[in-house]
Chain A
Amino acid sequence: MLHIRHPLRKFLHFLLFAFLFILHFTGNELITLRSASPFLMLPLLTSYSMFKSELRASIVGAISGAFIDSVSNTPGCFHTVVFFLLCFATSFVSKYLFNINYRSAIVLSILGNTFYYLARWLVCYAFSTPITDSLIYIFEYALPSIVFNAVFVLAFFSIEKKIHTAK
C-alpha cells in the first residue's frame, strides 16, 4: 500500500518539505507581498495529496502539521489536525470527483486554503479579537494569501507531476 516505486521520490519530497518548512519559519520575508504571506506548505501539500493515496496523504499531512505546530504560534495541535483533514480531503476528492490536472489543482488549492484560513480565524481570532480585527485578518491577510498560494500551486503541481511520472 505504501510502496515507493522510485527511491529518489521520497528523498525529493523530503528535501521539498524541509526547504519550505525552513523558508517559512525562519522569518524570511523575501516572498512576502505586503500583508500577503504565502504559506508554501499548503500548495505543496495540495499538489502532493492529489497524487497520493488517502492514507499516505493524511499521514504526511499530520506529520507536516506536527512540525509546523512546533514553531507556530497557533494553539495545541492546530496544524496537525487541519493538515491531516486537508490532505485526506484533497486526496479523496481528487480521486473520486476531480481530474488530476492544473485546473483541479487551482480549485483544490483555493478550497483547501479557504478551509485553512477559516479554521485559523475561528481558532485564533474569531472569539478573542474585536470584529474589526477579524475583518482585517480575513480581508488583508487571509484572502491575499489564498490568491498568492493559488499561484504557487501551479509550480508545485508541475513538480509533483514530474516526480510522480518519473521512472
Chain B
Amino acid sequence: MRFFFRSRQFKIILSVAAGILALCIITGVIGGAIAPHSSVVGTVTAPFVSLAQEISDGVRELVATYKSGNEFMLKNGELEAEINELREKLSEYDKAIRENEFYKDYLGIKDENPDFEFAPATLISRDNEDPFKGFVINKGSLNGISEHDPVITDAGIVGYISEVGLTTSKVATILSSEITMGALDNRTNDSGIVSGTMDLAKKGECKLYNLARSCTVAVGDYIVTSGEGIFPDGLLIGTINYIGSDEYSSSIYANITPFVDMSAIKNVMVITDFKGQGGIIPSGEE
C-alpha cells in the first residue's frame, strides 16, 4: 500500500484533485454561476438532454395511460393518437399555433406589467434527488438571464434562477426553503412570508407564515407576491388549503397549494427585467 503513495499514479491523482479544488475555488469566487466545467458540459449536452426529456415525457405519458387503465384515459389516448396524427401532417403549422398560444397566455401578464421583459425557456432536465423539485432550463446568460431572475408560467410563479450557465440555468422552486418571499392575501391584504419546507414539498405545497393572529385569511383565498424581495408584486402564488397556529410564536400560518404543478412544468418564462428589480437579495446571501 505504501508503494502506491509514492507511485506516479498517486501523483497524477493528486494533480487531478488540485485541479478540482481550483475549480471549486473559482466557482465559489464567481458565486451564482454554474461551475465553469459544468457550464461547458451543460452547453454540450443540453440538446441531447432536451431530446431525452421529450422522449422521457412521452414514455411517462404512455405509462400513465396504462397505469390508470380506465375508459376515460383509453378514450383520451385514442383521441390523442388522432390529434398526433393530425399534428404530424401539419407539424410546422401546429408548432406555430402552439407557440402563439404559449405567448398569448403571457400577453395578459405583459399587458398588466408593461415593465416586464420575458425570456421564454423550456425545461430540459429535472433533478430527481432534489426534494424541492428543482430543474434546469435551456436558457442562460447568453439569453440575458441572470441569478435571482423570477421564473413564472401562465398559471403563476414557479421560483427563481439559482445558478446561471452560458446556455442553461438552474431553477429553485417556491417549494424550496431556499426561497423566502413577501406575500399578500389577495382578498384581505394580510401579509406574510412564503417559503418551503421538506415536509410540505412532498405534497407539492409551501407555507405562508408570520401572519398576524388578528388576520382574516380563509381557506381558498388567493395568495400573491407583495413585491418585497426579488419578485415583482401581483404574481399569483397559490391558494390557501389549511390554516394553523404556530406552536412557538403568537402568529399563525397557512399551507398553500401553488397554482403551478411543479412536476408537470414544460415551458416557463423568465422575467429578466422589471421595475424595482434587484431590491432585496434572498436571505443567507450577500
Contact = CB atoms under 8 A, between A and B. Distances in A.
Interface in A1-46: 1, 22, 24-30, 32, 35, 37, 39
B56 interface: yes
A137 B60 contact: no
A53 B1 CA distance: 13
A58 B35 contact: no
Interface in A120-141: 120, 125, 128-130, 132-133, 136-137, 140-141
A40 B163 CA distance: 25
B130 A73 contact: yes
Nearest to A39: B129
B28 interface: yes
B13 interface: yes
Contacts of B60: 27-30
B129 A76 contact: no
B136 interface: yes
A37 B63 CA distance: 18
A21 B163 CA distance: 20
Contacts, number: 151
Interface stretch (B72-80, B195-203, B237-245): B195-203
Main secondary structure of the interface of A (DSSP, over half): helix
A86 interface: no
A80 B199 CA distance: 29
B52 A26 contact: yes
A133 B201 CA distance: 10
A96 B42 contact: no
A130 B178 CA distance: 11
A84 interface: yes
B101 to A, nearest CB: 23
B41 A66 contact: yes
Given A32-B128, A37-B129, A73-B172, A54 B13 contact: yes
Main secondary structure of the interface of B (DSSP, over half): helix
B37 A80 contact: yes
Interface string A88-107: 10001000100000000000
Given A66-B38, A71-B136, A129 B177 contact: yes
Contacts of A39: 128-129
B60 to A, nearest CB: 7
B226 interface: no
Given A54-B13, A55-B12, A76 B125 contact: no
Given A27-B56, A84-B20, 12 more contacts: A25-B127, A25-B128, A29-B60, A39-B128, A55-B13, A70-B34, A71-B125, A73-B170, A77-B27, A120-B129, A136-B131, A141-B131
30 contacts: A1-B9, A22-B48, A25-B128, A26-B55, A26-B126, A27-B128, A30-B60, A37-B128, A58-B17, A62-B16, A69-B35, A70-B34, A70-B136, A71-B45, A71-B168, A72-B127, A72-B130, A75-B163, A77-B20, A80-B35, A80-B38, A84-B16, A92-B4, A96-B4, A128-B178, A129-B197, A130-B197, A133-B177, A133-B198, A136-B202
10 pairs of A and B residues whose beta carbons are closest in the complex? A70-B42, A27-B126, A73-B134, A26-B56, A69-B38, A76-B27, A133-B198, A71-B125, A22-B52, A70-B38
